Amino acid sequence: MAISIEQARAALAAAKSEAADAEHFAGERLEGGWLFAWSADGDVPLGTTTWVVADNGGVRPLGFRDTAQSALAALSDAR
């Protein structure tokens, strides 16, 4: 079952992710979960990471070689 954007942001907050901040990060619904990326005007601050939240509540920052789909699939398989 798909989680809401509010549930996904709560999971990000529990993981102490900066992506829980709705003012600076936009959520995009994908198959299997949510993608949260910087959306504020101006340059992306150094060290800012894009995060995914799977429908099972798993949370993970995207690594250099990750795609959102591969990260969501790995989180879904992990639980």
Tens of pLDDT, residues 51-65: 999 999 999 999 989
Residue 42 and residue 75: Cα distance in Å, rounded? Answer: 31
**Residue 52 CA: distances (Å) to CA of 3, 11, 45:** 12, 10, 19
How many angstroms separate the CA atoms of 2 and 71, rounded? 16
Residue 72 DSSP SS3:
helix
Distance CA 38, CA 61 (A): 13
* pLDDT tens digit sequence for 5-42: 999 999 999 999 999 999 999 999 999 999 999 998 88
